């Protein structure tokens, strides 16, 4: 068992001919991920790492069976890419693209939900189910250093800290069922609360590790699910950015979603909400292995 990606995931990469995307495709193929096609308008007929490239998503779907899209296009093209993938029946999309305009993000997430499709991102580092599927740059060229099949679900706003937190899970002697970076934008396709519910429903996942940070209310929403017993599996959390509370209020910090308004979104408010709900909150990031051992 796992969530969202597994051995049956078949991927079409939008923007596959870009330098970064082509490198990620190489790593995904090496991991065993089924990358069946790529799409770059005007580049149809080319191949990237042996993967055929098409001018449109529709053309790719006419020639290949796929259920997942990896979106690696420029910010101005992200909304159209998502619309095209969803319109052709794709149900899971990982949007790696950064700096997508907020309005475009809202529109493409709304469009996906209307068609019962799920977006991870924008600004996602990817999602991995160890031993089955690696979608995006998560884990780099040697994901086995960080990820191993196991029973701990990992979810993080930060891309780099998705890997770092997963490494701490390994240090505790455990592996991951699935690990994902939701992206650090103000608007994201799949929130912490939604990921927690997916992990709750997954029989393989026995505990969840959440890496949060200042800004927004996604951590507070997750806490509400724990408080209401909608999520009953142990949740270990760490919230980064407590130093920000010592800084002037207009200081720019972190991701695009690191916005604090009216006292909401501060690390302290998130930590209190999670603790009050019953989550185990690490004082420092390195305390996560110790807390995991207490619940597993």
**Summary mean pLDDT of the chain:** 93
Predicted pLDDT at 250: 55
Per-residue model confidence as pLDDT tens digits over 229-281? 999 999 999 998 665 554 555 544 554 444 545 556 788 999 999 999 999 99
CATH 3.40.50.720 intervals, the chain = 1-123
Name the β-bridge partners of 181.
Answer: 126, 156
For 12, residues 6+ apart whose C-beta sits below 8 A from its C-beta are 35, 36, 37, 38, 39, 57, 60, 61, 64, 66, 68, 69, 70, 85, 90
Question: Which residue of the set 64, 115, 255, 285 is catalytic?
Answer: 255
Q: Please tell me the distance from the alpha carbon of residue 178 to that of residue 148, in angstroms, as a whole number.
A: 10
Pick the CATH number of 1-123 from 3.40.50.720, 3.40.50.10880, 3.40.50.1820, 3.40.50.300: 3.40.50.720
Nearest to 170 by CA among 151, 196, 185, 198: 151
For 233, residues 6+ apart whose C-beta sits below 8 A from its C-beta are 199, 200, 205, 206, 207, 208
Q: How many helices (H) and strands (E) does the chain have?
A: 9, 14
Per-residue model confidence as pLDDT tens digits over 126-160? 999 999 999 999 999 999 999 999 999 999 999 99
Predicted pLDDT at 247: 53
- Which backbone phi and psi does 245 adopt, to 5 degrees? -75, -10
Predicted pLDDT at 186: 85
Predicted pLDDT at 58: 98
- Secondary structure (3-state) at 31: helix
CATH 3.40.50.261 intervals, the chain = 146-296
Predicted pLDDT at 222: 98
Instruction: Tell me the pLDDT of the chain (296 aa) as tens digits.
Output: 689 999 999 999 999 999 999 999 999 999 999 999 999 999 999 999 999 999 999 999 999 999 999 999 999 999 999 999 999 999 999 999 999 999 999 999 999 999 999 999 999 999 999 999 999 999 999 999 999 999 999 999 999 999 999 999 999 999 999 999 999 888 999 999 999 999 999 999 999 999 998 778 999 999 999 999 999 999 999 998 665 554 555 544 554 444 545 556 788 999 999 999 999 999 999 999 999 999 99
**Other C-beta atoms within 10 Å of 128: how many?**
30
The tokens describing 112, both together, are 């996906």
- Which backbone phi and psi does 135 adopt, to 5 degrees? -115, 110
Is pTM beyond 0.95? Reply is no
Predicted pLDDT at 267: 85
237 in Cβ contact with 225 (< 8 Å): no
Strand arrangement of the beta sheet that strand 149-156 belongs to: 133-135, 126-129, 176-181, 149-156, 207-213, 235-240, 280-281
- Which backbone phi and psi does 128 adopt, to 5 degrees? -140, 135
Q: Please tell me the distance from the alpha carbon of residue 154 to that of residue 296, in angstroms, as a whole number.
A: 15
Q: Could you list the beta-strand ranges (E) of the chain.
A: 10-14, 34-39, 47-48, 51-54, 68-71, 92-95, 118-120, 126-129, 133-135, 149-156, 176-181, 207-213, 235-240, 280-281
Predicted pLDDT at 215: 79
CATH architecture of the domain 146-296 equals 3-Layer(aba) Sandwich (3.40)
285 is catalytic: no
């Amino acid at each position: 068992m796992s969530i969202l990606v597994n051995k049956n995931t078949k991927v079409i990469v939008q923007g596959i001919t870009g330098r970064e995307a082509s490198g990620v495709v190489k790593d995904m193929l090496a991991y065993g991920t089924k990358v069946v096609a790529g799409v770059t308008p005007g580049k149809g007929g080319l191949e990237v790492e042996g993967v055929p490239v098409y001018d449109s998503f529709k053309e790719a779907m006419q020639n290949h069976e796929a259920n997942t899209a990896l979106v690696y296009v420029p910010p101005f093209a992200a909304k159209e890419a998502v619309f095209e993938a969803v319109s052709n029946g794709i149900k899971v999309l990982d949007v790696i693209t950064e700096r997508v305009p907020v309005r475009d993000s809202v529109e493409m997430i709304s469009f996906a939900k209307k068609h019962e499709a799920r977006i991870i991102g924008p600004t996602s580092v990817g999602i991995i189910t160890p031993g089955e599927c690696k979608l995006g740059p998560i884990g780099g060229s040697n994901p086995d250093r960080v990820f191993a099949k196991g029973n701990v679900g990992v979810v993080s706003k930060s891309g780099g800290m998705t890997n770092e937190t997963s490494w701490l899970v390994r240090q505790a002697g455990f592996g991951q069922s699935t690990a994902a970076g939701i992206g650090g934008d103000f608007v994201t396709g799949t929130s912490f609360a939604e990921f927690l519910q997916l992990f709750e429903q997954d029989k393989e996942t026995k505990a969840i590790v959440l890496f949060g940070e200042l800004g927004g209310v996604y951590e507070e929403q997750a806490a509400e699910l724990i408080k209401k017993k909608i999520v009953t599996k142990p949740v270990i959390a760490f919230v980064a950015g407590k130093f920000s509370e010592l800084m002037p209020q207009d200081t720019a910090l972190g991701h695009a979603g690191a916005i604090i308004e009216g006292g909401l979104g501060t690390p302290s408010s998130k930590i209190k909400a999670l603790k009050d709900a019953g989550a185990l909150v690490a004082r420092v990031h390195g305390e996560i292995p110790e807390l995991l051992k207490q619940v597993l």
